[in-house]
Structure formats: C-alpha cells, structure tokens
Structure 1
Amino acid sequence: MSDSNLKSLALDLASGEFPRSPRETLGGYVVAARTLDKCRAVLAGTNGEYHFDCPLDGFFLSFTGISADDFKAFVATGADDEAVAKWINENAKSRERRDIIKWNNEMRCKHISEMPIELQEFLEDYIPECIPAGKIVYVWFDVYDIEEGRI
C-alpha cells in the first residue's frame, strides 16, 4: 500500500464531501468509519474544517484502547477499509461482542445531556449556528447527520 493509495481513498472534506455518518460501522464499531474518513483526509491535507482525534473520535479510540497516533500511523500506510477494520479488531481491547453491541447502541442513543459538560457547552452554541431552524436534535449523532444532509 502506498501514499497514492491513501490519497485515492481520502475524501475531499475541504470541498464539500462529508465523512460517513457516525452511525455507520467499521470493524463492528460505530464512529470508526467516520474517524477513518477524517484521519485519511488529515493525512491527505483535504480535511478542511474537520478534525481527527476530536471528542467523537475520542469515544471510539478510548473504548477500543487504540491510540490516535497508532490509528493514524496505520491509516497512513494506505490501508483500505477492510484492512483497517481487520487492524481495529486485532488491536482493540478484547471485549465480548455483546459489550461492543451495547456500546454501539449507547453511542447511537447518547443525548447531549449525557455528555461531558465541555461538549454540552460547545454544542449549546454550535447547534443553533449550524443546524437549520426547525430541525430537532434528538441524540448527538443527529447533529452530524442533519448538518451533513443525511436526515
């Protein structure tokens, strides 16, 4: 795998493409596919306003026990989605499948009031500035999917 492979896989988030929804799974984990999309874009210099290792990515990385640096180093090899999924499963903290399912569902249903206060404060201003009037944010993932036009 190579740098050219990485560039061909990286989305151009600076020019209007969006990373995948945090609801999509990779290697069996929600958030992972989005984290990968942002990481590739950062490595390719096409991330625009998107950040890798943001608080959302941190939830995934913390749960799996994978460091942002290790994840980024592997992604930099130009690995495709299948290879990254395999790498995640080989490097994630060992957990029962039912624990991963429970975490996925907790993340899918996480209300803003259940988040650390720093994120609540950030979203208090971010939502009215970036979410169209009339759109209701029921759970945290809605913020991304509404803003990026998926719902």
Structure 2
Amino acid sequence: MKAPNLTQHPPRSPRVRLGGYTILPRLLDKARATLASTNGEYIYNNPNDGHFFRFTGITPEALLEQVKTGAGDWDLLLWVNEHVPLKRTALEIQQWSGWTETVAFNDVDMREWFTGQIKRLNPAREDLRGTFDYLDLDDYVSFGGVA
C-alpha cells in the first residue's frame, strides 16, 4: 500500500472531491498514513471526518479495513458507493459537499478556539470563516507557508 508521509506534507485539502464527496480524499490520505504510522499530527476519524461517516453511514472501522487492501482512490470510491447504508443521490452528495465547505464552529467554546487559532496564524485575516478555511491555512502554515 502506498501511503503519504504526513510528517512531510499535509493531506489533501478537505475541499478536494472524490465522487462528489468533499472530505473523502483527505480522509483516505489520513487512513493510509495512519496504517503506515506516517500520519504525524493528523488524526483519522476526527470530528471533521465524522461529517463523512454520518452522511454515508459507513463506519470508520469498515473504511479503514478497506483501505488496508491497498486499493486506490477510485476503487475505494466504488466500495463506498456499494456499501453505503444511506444511499444518496448525486444531488444530495453535491448539496452535502457544498454544506461542508461552509460549515463553521457552532459551539461557543469551539468558536473561541477557532478565534485563537486565527490569531495564532494571522490576526489580520478576515477571510477565514469555516472549518475548511482553517484547515487549509493551518496545513499551509504547518509546512512552512506564511499566512
């Protein structure tokens, strides 16, 4: 199985889509890296990953078992589509993916945490609104970029 080394570079952006699903390519990168012990600080089945698992009904354990086979992204997408207990239309997947791109931290404690992270990364940034904005910027800065 080929696995990315997430101590050397970040996983794909949560915005990248596979079969219309946001989050899935990043999730696969983290799963492969976790199995290879090259995940660094990236955590498989974190709260952001949970959006995908709740939407599809696939369990994190089942997906990880399938990733262990060494299948590529396309074959894993086919497996997801065959095994989702919650069958979704292309339109539902598109709408869900659009929603994930705009999701923000709703809980007061998480909003405070988010604000603290933005201050750490670059307090002048006023364009950061949601989870994906934060993840993309944090990935960039974590590997030498300037916010």
What interval of TM-score do these two structures reach, taking the shorter chain for normalisation?
0.7 to 0.9
The equivalent residue for 2:95 is 102
Shift of 1:111: 2.6
Tell me, yes or no, if structure 1 residue 13 matches structure 2 residue 3: no
Shift of 1:132: 2.9
The equivalent residue for 1:3 is none
Match of 1:135 among 125, 129, 145: 125
Q: Which amino acid aligns with 1:14?
A: T
- 1:36/1:75 contact within 8 Å kept: yes
**What is the rounded CA distance, in whole Å, between the counterparts of 2:112 and 2:33 in structure 1?**
27
The equivalent residue for 1:71 is 63
The equivalent residue for 2:20 is 28
Q: Which amino acid aligns with 1:43?
A: L
The equivalent residue for 2:81 is 89
CA-based RMSD of the aligned residues comes to 2.0
- 2:118/2:125 contact within 8 Å kept: no
Name whichever structure is richer in helix by fraction.
Answer: 1
SS at match of 1:86: helix
Q: Structure 1's 80 and 116: CA in aligned 2 closer, same or farther, altered over 3 A?
A: farther
- 2:6/2:33 contact within 8 Å kept: yes
**What is the rounded CA distance, in whole Å, between the counterparts of 1:51 and 1:11 in structure 2?**
14
Q: Which amino acid aligns with 1:42?
A: T
For normalisation by structure 1, the TM-score amounts to 0.83
